[in-house]
Chain A
Amino acid sequence: MIILGIILVLSLGLSVINYISKDFSILEKIGLAFLIGIGFETIFMFIYDILNMKFNVIMLCIISILFIIILNIRNIKNFRVIFKKLKKIKPQFPKINYKKINLVWLFFFILICVLIYGSAAKSLYWPTFAYDNVAGYDLMGKVVASEGKINNSLFEINNTPILGSARRCIYPPLVSGSFALAYLCNLPTSKLISTLFFIFFVISFYASLRLFTNKTNSIIITFFTVITPEMFAFSSLSTTNIPIAIYGSLSIIYLYIWLNRREQRYLLIASLLMGFNIWTRSDAVVFNVAGFIVLLFDALKNRNWKELLIYSIIAFLPFIAWNLYIKFNINVDQNVFINKPFWDSNKFNGVLTWVKNLVTNTNLYGISFYAFFVSIIINIKNIFKEKTSILLILFFISWGIYTLLFYQMDNTKMDSLATMMKASYRRGLFAFIPIMWFYVSTNKTINFLSNKYEKILFPK
């Protein structure tokens, strides 16, 4: 059953990507198919819920297949032509050209595979046990699957979330919905979903790097992203942090790709990923806002108002939809922030001290932050001349807003500042790691060195 479910998710994601454009690379298509497909499955669950229809695996299959057919209607019309082309293709074993083997690429590829295997083995061996998941996202997934609705028996007394779950049950439904899909497919635990998220992220990230840099550089950068210790540790847990790191970072990267290449397909993918980013956690809005600010400036400069509108609708609609849903269905105070600006030097210094302590902690993020800042310094001469400065702007705006959120947080409604920084902020920083490494890879100096290496290795 789960194999059928995964095939359906991948087909759905692939159909959406192909509908946007057929020009994406195979790696991009494979990587993004799962991330987009699973996002749409949770949107279907939400639609069924607001229509007051209890959903099950068959209903999800029906709507998914229907959606796939609609998206592929152009291809169905050309079915005969495609079939003829397919008939002409003769199966051939790929020929390995030993003179084209890049041992460095192979070495890092094998290391990445071993690491992913280690993460997957751990994830699939242990059932869900982390507190946040047991008392939150996975509990929600279990009950959503069992009752076929999002507004379920966990909102038991006057529609308030069950005692002890804090606000975890009212997080947007991408994570809990994807776990629900695992339970709907009769799996005993939902851990497979976390593993799949991580695997498809690694493929997508490598594919996005390949758009800018060569194979050697891409694989080394992917390796450094994967081995970020804290992020790797969470890749086998069912928290919301890894999905946020995936959707948040990839959406910023794809937005940067669009600003660089001006091909609309990248804008659509970036907007979709932004939408799913906010469909995972509402506080991930920092990426959507950063994207909006940069696109607004771009629109003012280049009169790209249509693009700004497309982005705004796709990227913010899930946020509006979910907040309205919570407002009208769930009895809970969502606001955990101090709504007016204030100045508290102690709190401000406290936040900055925590930020400094965290980013310099190599036990948590390895050399990620150091590599990023060294890369900026190396590039300082060209920093405003290069297009990569857009990526830096996107990065610093989102990081700045994200940090500001913790300053504005009302700690009387939440845990203490120290607890929030030590736990939430620390995990939230995952999302910035892939963006930082992406910047490192596209850096002129590093690119020059890796290109030189590949030219020596494979002279034309």
Chain B
Amino acid sequence: MNKKKLKKSKKQAKRVKKSDSFSYITINIISLFFCIIFVLILYKSIGGYKWLWDSLVIGNLEMIKKYPNLTIAQKYEIKCGFDYKYLDYIKKNTPEDAIIIMPSKEEIYPKDEKSDFNDKGAWGVKNKAWATYFLYPRKLVYEQEKDTNPLYEQINYVAIANYYGYDKLNYKIDKKQKYQILPINIPSKK
């Protein structure tokens, strides 16, 4: 009699277990389904979330996949345009201890001419701190600092932009170029 009861209760326990695991799986799947729907609704209805996923996550990952081997210089060129290209050229053609006179705003943006440099916002060659980031440890001097910066007397390189700046050289140049970096004095031949 007892054995029968025991068997019966075991069977019942099994059934409860089965129904427990069934309800556990069902609740889990149903709640997951609702969560997915909820996330999709947020994605479709809130512009910020759509922008985050489409542009910041997927857009960037696609870009990385498309151009996996770009160098840092190429990436800077994409983001900072001609301003970076110009500074990189100066960097490659000057020693680390160079003191460079940079083009003034009037030389960067000549009147009635379209400039290659960025003219939107505060960034670009015109901004000393911004330009220093790419040229450090070289020291930069701007025309507006003529009376305040003691390094003005020690300038040894001139950055040419839009054919301006040749007048600062202590020698004459026959072939003028739109963009150039030149020593202020004729380099002595060893």
Contacts and interface: CB of A to CB of B under 8 A. Distances in A.
Interface of A: 99, 101-104, 107-108, 111, 114-115, 118-119, 121-122, 125-127, 129, 131, 134-136, 138-139, 142-143, 146, 153-154, 156-157, 162-165, 168-169, 188-189, 227, 229-230, 232-233, 236, 361-367, 453, 456-459
Nearest to B39: A111
Contact of A233 (B24, B56, B128): B56
Interface string B101-118: 000000000000000000
B129 A129 contact: no
Interface in B130-162: 130, 132-133, 136-137, 139, 142, 144-145, 148-151
User: Which applies to chain A's interface (DSSP): helix, strand, loop or mixed?
Assistant: helix
Nearest to B46: A362
Nearest to A139: B133
Contacts of A164: 122, 127-130
Given A134-B123, A365-B48, 20 more contacts: A99-B21, A103-B32, A108-B35, A114-B57, A118-B61, A121-B61, A122-B56, A122-B64, A125-B75, A134-B129, A142-B133, A157-B145, A164-B128, A229-B51, A232-B52, A363-B47, A367-B42, A453-B31, A457-B28, A458-B24
Interface residues of B, number: 49
Contacts of A111: 39
A134 B32 contact: no
A143 B42 contact: no
A227 B35 CA distance: 15
Contacts of B13: none
Interface string B50-62: 0110001110110
14 contacts: A103-B32, A104-B31, A108-B35, A118-B56, A127-B72, A146-B137, A163-B129, A164-B122, A232-B56, A361-B48, A363-B46, A363-B51, A364-B48, A458-B24
Contacts of B80: 129
Contacts of B64: 121-122, 125
Given A103-B29, A157-B150, A363 B48 contact: yes
Contact of B75 (A101, A126, A236): A126
A163 B133 contact: no
B133 A189 contact: no
Given A127-B76, A453-B31, A227 B49 contact: yes
- Specify which of B46, B79, B132 lies most central, judged by the most chain A CB atoms within 10 Å of its CB: B132
Contact of A457 (B24, B35, B130): B24
Nearest to A129: B79
B187 interface: no
Nearest to B68: A125
A350 to B, nearest CB: 23
Nearest to A163: B128
Contacts of B144: 163
A162 B123 CA distance: 14
**What are the 7 A-B residue pairs with the smallest beta carbon separation, nearest first?**
A229-B48, A118-B57, A164-B129, A165-B129, A135-B129, A164-B127, A129-B79
Interface in B5-49: 20-21, 24, 27-29, 31-32, 35-36, 39, 42, 46-49
A297 B39 CA distance: 42
Contact of B27 (A115, A135, A456): A456
- Specify which of A138, A156, A361 lies most central, judged by the most chain B CB atoms within 10 Å of its CB: A156
